[in-house]
Amino acid sequence: MLTALLIGFPLLGALIVFFVKGNAARNFALGLSVLEFVLSLVAFAMYKNNPACTQLSFNHTWVQSLGINFSVGLNGISLLLVLLTTFLVPLIILSSYKNEYENPSSFYGLILIMQMALVGVFAANDGFLFYVFWELALIPIYFICLLWGGEGRSRITFKFFVYTLAGSLFMLVGLIYVYNHTNVEGLKSWAVQDMYNAGKSLTADQQGVVFWLIFIAFAVKMPVFPFHTWQPDTYVNAPTQGTMLLSGIMLKMGTFGVMKWLLPIVPLGLERWGNTAICISVIGVVYASCIAIVQKDFKRLIAYSSIAHVGLISAGIFSTTQQGLQGAVMQMLAHGVNVVGLFLIADILLRHTGTREIDKLGGIRGMNGNFAVLFLIVLLGSVALPLTNGFVGEFLLINGLYQYSAIAAAFAGLSVILGAVYMLRSYQGIMLGERKDNHLTFGSLAATDKAVLIIICSVIIAFGVYPKPLNEMAEEGVKILLSNIK
């Protein structure tokens, strides 16, 4: 019941926010999303860390004749991602306080609808329901990018929408194919466990086809090379909050989808094609890192770094080792928090100086020391320095990948080095050195920006020093997952 509430509450909130006029809308949205976070903390407290897989589940018949149920529940992995979502959304809303948006009620309402869909994706235990939430998440983000985005947004959001929709439709076909093979006492069923059984009953060839049908949707969403071409433009042109939603949470839909809706359904397909998937993921890591090094626009640089990170996560998942999967979960959490921080920093830079070009900035440390420290912490989290939250995940990921293949691990390990290169270089260019433009000024940070950055930095350090509670939960979740794959 609590899980259903977690999905329903943001929808209710959105309906309220739609009817609040003016800037009061954002206060409402902030309050409601904080309440949602509290709700998810309650779920966290109620969750018992034991191997019984799904907890807090809720089941209601939707379309009986087709075997579709509104069935939601949480296990270790999905609860962590729900927590990530509910934690980030208030921060995203808070970070928008310095941006004046037209039609604030629609803007914040759409963010809350997006939250509903995201929580739904993570909690769904029914294949059909999963697909519906998956598609639903696309609509609000499309409108957020379209209505409040930057120059040339109509063309770019088109590409984004059509690209992801095409991927999703292939996934729908794949899921229907598996559904058609389910058999529970003569009836078909969308329930996740029945889908797992049906998928395993397919021949290796069939599983191979289903693997690609479903994988394409996730590959586009993450995105992994070569399905990534929509991503940099969309990230750069979306409003900052849209980019945060896309990279912080929506990207995790893809990685989570692979874990829950791909690996356990087609283990034989995975055996055949897992290698290829790891290969393209690792290519993506190196490729995106190299492109990130030469970027001039800081926001675009983060966009490419995001492709590199997600490539590593994806490679870790497809290694299907305990460490690799666990690392993927930890890195998903860490990346979500860090990338929101980085995009906020890019936004702050733009607001204060009017540019994000690394070449035009410089010497900001001298003008605002606090900002320099906060930026540095977020940056170190992102390059996965020990004692920051990024370290645990990245270490486990490369460890898991090494068990699968030493060569893949070696190439993926490059991401750590290259990541340090482009991140530190951009820090150097933006914050250190001489001022390149004498008119450049940088006042003190707004209270809301400061608050968001401080919260993010404390999370980065706290879970870098003490990752145990999250790690244990991820471990349990991954164990169940692996038992389903085998």
Partner 1 sequence: MKGLLIISGLGVLAMLAEIFKFKKLLLPMVLLGIVAAYAFNFMEWTNEYSISYFSNMISFDKIGIAFSGIIIATAFFWFILANDYFEEDTNVVDHFALVLFALVGALMLTAFTNMTTLFLGIEIMSIPLYVLAASQKKDLRSNEAGFKYLIMGSFASGFLLFGIALVYGASGSFDLEKIREYIALNSSGMPMFFYVGVIMIMIAMCFKVSAAPFHFWAPDVYQGSPTLITALMSTVVKTAAFAAFLRLFMVGFAGVSEVWTGILAGIIALSLVVSNFSAAMQTNVKRMLAYSSISHAAFMLMVVLANIRSNISVDAILYYSLAYSIGSIAAFGVLYNVTRKNTESIEAFNGLGKRNPLLAFCMTVAMLSLAGIPVTSGFFAKYFVFTTMIGTHYKWLLILAVITSAIGAYYYLKVVIAMYYKKPIHEEAVVIERSNVLVITLTTVIVIVIGIVPGLVSEMFKF
Interface ranges with partner 1 (CB under 8 A) = 62-66, 131-132, 135-136, 138-139, 143, 146-147, 153-154, 157-158, 161-162, 165-166, 169-170, 172-173, 176-177, 179-180
Nearer to partner 1, 198 or 340 (CB): 198
3-class secondary-structure state, position 475: helix
Nearer to partner 1, 127 or 264 (CB): 127
Nearer to partner 1, 40 or 115 (CB): 115
For residue 136, the tally of other CB atoms under 10 A from its CB is 16
Q: How far is CA 314 from CA 39, 63, 122, 311, 318, in A?
A: 30, 34, 17, 5, 6
Nearer to partner 1, 5 or 169 (CB): 169
Answer yes or no: are the C-beta atoms of 452 and 91 closer than 8 Å. Answer: yes
* Minimum distance, C-beta of residue 271 to partner 1, in the bound complex (Å): 23
For residue 331, the tally of other CB atoms under 10 A from its CB is 27
Cα end-to-end distance, the chain, whole Å: 31
Nearer to partner 1, 128 or 298 (CB): 128
3-class secondary-structure state, position 467: coil
* Minimum distance, C-beta of residue 134 to partner 1, in the bound complex (Å): 9
Task: For residue 74, give both structure tokens.
Answer: 């949480």
* Minimum distance, C-beta of residue 107 to partner 1, in the bound complex (Å): 12
DSSP state, residue 228: -
Nearer to partner 1, 21 or 48 (CB): 21
Residue 243: name the closest of 95, 131, 422 by CA.
95
Q: How far is CA 441 from CA 341, 347, 396, in A?
A: 22, 15, 42
* Minimum distance, C-beta of residue 217 to partner 1, in the bound complex (Å): 11
Alpha-carbon span 276 to 289, nearest angstrom: 20
Alpha-carbon span 27 to 108, nearest angstrom: 10
Alpha-carbon span 127 to 242, nearest angstrom: 27
Nearer to partner 1, 87 or 130 (CB): 130
Peptide bond preceding 223 in cis form (omega within 30 of 0): yes
* Minimum distance, C-beta of residue 176 to partner 1, in the bound complex (Å): 5
Nearer to partner 1, 166 or 373 (CB): 166
For residue 21, the tally of other CB atoms under 10 A from its CB is 8
* Minimum distance, C-beta of residue 138 to partner 1, in the bound complex (Å): 8
* Minimum distance, C-beta of residue 108 to partner 1, in the bound complex (Å): 17
Alpha-carbon span 377 to 280, nearest angstrom: 31
* Minimum distance, C-beta of residue 213 to partner 1, in the bound complex (Å): 9
Report CA 101 to chain centroid distance, whole Å: 24
* Minimum distance, C-beta of residue 121 to partner 1, in the bound complex (Å): 12
DSSP class per residue in 330-347: HHHHHHHHHHHHHHHHHH
Nearer to partner 1, 70 or 298 (CB): 70
